[in-house]
Each structure stands twice: as structure tokens, then as C-alpha cells.
């Protein structure tokens, strides 16, 4: 069991693990994750936030065709995320694909849920991202569903370093199925 002395050390470990896992190919894992995510989202409706995956993140594009869900996407602005309705993307900060500047904004409060990437999660909903805090700052007061998306190897059994401002997710979706994080919280 690993115990990390800092977020930096934990991020470094999982970035390295990501490189190894993605080099081996995760096609079967991604296909299983897609099915689990489709099954989860089939029970949802309304407006949901999603992300356009970086090369070393779990992809979620498979669910964009679910008819009862409208998708909006984040754009980084002043340390937080704004969500926009769009089908046109540009490459923004940190090589992230973001909505074009002309895309109409959507108020965060109108979203039923948000799909959230991360480097590592715990079953209790703790999440460690890439270190810029965009999701934490954006979702600190958000009351809709927060759904972390990752592969099984990104769910750490040991505690991950957290701070008071870090936001937990309500569910995790992995290739093995959904995890209700509230059941694991102390």
C-alpha cells in the first residue's frame, strides 16, 4: 500500500503509471468503461457537463449521442471553468479542447451533473487532478451530481493527499462499474 507525503509525489506516481498503462493500450478497458458510462447515463437526463479527453485520460465521447442528455463543455477562465453549449472546439490552455469563443454560456446551476476527469480517485470520492484546481474552484458550491471518470488502476486503495478546498465526487465510473462514493465516506 502506497502512502504519499504530498500531492506532488502522488501526481508523479500516477502520471508515470498512466504512461505505462496507456503505452500497453487500454482499448478493452475503454470499451468496458464506455458501456458502464452509457448504462449510468441512460438513467440520467437534462443538461450535463462533460470534457474532451486529453490523450492520457479516459474518453467519454461515446455518451454524447444519448438522446435525453444535452451536453455542455468547460472553458478555462480566470482559475475556474465556464460551461458552454457547442459542437465547435478550439485547442485552449494546456492543450485542452474547449468550446469556441462564440459558444453560448450555460449557468452551472442548470446542470444536473458533471463528468470529471482525474489522475487518481479514492472510493470515498477524493480526487486528485492535474494541479491547477479548475474543477475544485468551479464545483465547490455546486449541488448537482459530480461523477469521476477513470480506469480501475486510477482508484487508489491508500489515502491520497487532500486539502480542505478539494471537492469530492459522488460517483466513480470505471470499466468495472459505478462506485457510489457516499457509501465509502467516513
Mean pLDDT by 10 residues, the chain (186 residues): 82 89 86 96 96 92 92 91 94 90 95 97 93 90 96 92 91 97 84
Which CATH architecture group holds 7-184?
3-Layer(aba) Sandwich (3.40)
Q: Residue 159 has what pLDDT? A: 87
User: SS in 3 state form for the chain?
Assistant: CCCCCCHHHHHHHHHHHHHHHHHHCCHHHHHHHHHHHHHHHCCCCEEEECCCCCCCCCCCHHHHHCCCEEEEEEEEECCEEEEECCCCEEECHHHCEEECCCCCEECHHHCCEEEECCCEECCCCCEECCCCCHHHHHHCCCCCEEEEECCHHHECCCCCCCCCCCCCCCEEEECCEEEEHHHHCC
Q: Residue 34 has what pLDDT? A: 95
Q: Residue 21 has what pLDDT? A: 87
Q: What's this model's pTM, rounded to 2 decimal places? A: 0.92
Amino acid at each position: 500500500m502506497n502512502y504519499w507525503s504530498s500531492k506532488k509525489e502522488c501526481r508523479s506516481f500516477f502520471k508515470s503509471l498512466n504512461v505505462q498503462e496507456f503505452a500497453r493500450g487500454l482499448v478493452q478497458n475503454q470499451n468496458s468503461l464506455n458501456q458502464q458510462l452509457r448504462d449510468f447515463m441512460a438513467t440520467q437526463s437534462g443538461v450535463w457537463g462533460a470534457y474532451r479527453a486529453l490523450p492520457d485520460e479516459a474518453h467519454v465521447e461515446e455518451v454524447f449521442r444519448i438522446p435525453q442528455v444535452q451536453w455542455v463543455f468547460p472553458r478555462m477562465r480566470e482559475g475556474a471553468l465556464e460551461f458552454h453549449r457547442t459542437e465547435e472546439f478550439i485547442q485552449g490552455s494546456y492543450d485542452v479542447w474547449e468550446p469556441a469563443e462564440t459558444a453560448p454560456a450555460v449557468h452551472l446551476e442548470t446542470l444536473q451533473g458533471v463528468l470529471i476527469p482525474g489522475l487518481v480517485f479514492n472510493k470515498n470520492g477524493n480526487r486528485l487532478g492535474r494541479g491547477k484546481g479548475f474543477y475544485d474552484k468551479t464545483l465547490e458550491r455546486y449541488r448537482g451530481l459530480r461523477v469521476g471518470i477513470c480506469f480501475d488502476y486510477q482508484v487508489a486503495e491508500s489515502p491520497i493527499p487532500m486539502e480542505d478546498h478539494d471537492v469530492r465526487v459522488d460517483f466513480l465510473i470505471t470499466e468495472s462499474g459505478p462506485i457510489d462514493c457516499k457509501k465509502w465516506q467516513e
